Amino acid sequence: MSERKILSKILRLDKNIYSELINLDNALQKGILIYITVTSLNTLSQTRFFVSLLDFIETNLVLIKNEFSDDEFEIIQALVDDYADIFRQQEVTLTLLFSSVFTATIISLIGLSICYLILKFLLSKDPKPSDLIIISCFSSAPGLLVFFALISSNIVAQFFLIMIPGIYALITFASGLKQVYLLRNIEVVLLLVTLIFSGAILGPM
């Protein structure tokens, strides 16, 4: 099966694609490549978005000047300027991309480990760690669409081009879990909530 066909089936939420993928030769390697690409694109697009957001705030800060005293406004302006300088000085290097991919991978593996334990001991399934990793990596494929956020100069468009693929990736992950492990909707929701909360807790660490 060609990569284009695989991506097309994932995006269309094909009912059998993940069952096919876990039996596909080199599926794990292909999935990891997609995951690394998506994580790198997310790092680039999010950095660009925050720079654009801070530029927008700097430009329009004067519009809310009357809402604050002079001292308060100066403090706010100084904070915005400091954050803007930090982001502008932060060049996207290979070191930053590697660090981002490494951190995201650790968080994902911990989340998948929790999902594995729930599947095995709470839902009485027989999950294979490699199958879970394949499902997770290939379900990140909608994140490839984040590329369009890198070529957009509109901050609102950038926001939606980052958020929508992220949400859709969760939907494709849920679809993969349901297909491979024959789960009910409530069981899929339980696993998604677990994954989201583990990411939210571990992310700031």
Nearest Cα residue to 196 out of 169, 162, 164, 157: 169
pTM of the model: 0.87
Longest dimension (CA), the chain: 65
pLDDT of residue 58: 80
Residues in the chain, total: 205
pLDDT band at residue 200 under the 50/70/90 scheme: low
CA distance 82 to 75: 11
* pLDDT tens for each residue of 15-28: 999 999 999 889 99
Residue 46 identity? Q
Identify whether the C-beta of residue 178 lies closer than 8 Å to the C-beta of residue 188. yes
pLDDT of residue 171: 95
CA distance 29 to 134: 9
* pLDDT tens for each residue of 62-101: 777 777 777 888 888 888 888 777 766 666 677 878 888 9
* pLDDT tens for each residue of 139-195: 999 999 999 999 998 999 999 999 999 999 999 999 999 999 999 999 999 999 888
Rounded to 5°, angle at Cα 178 from 175 and 181? 140
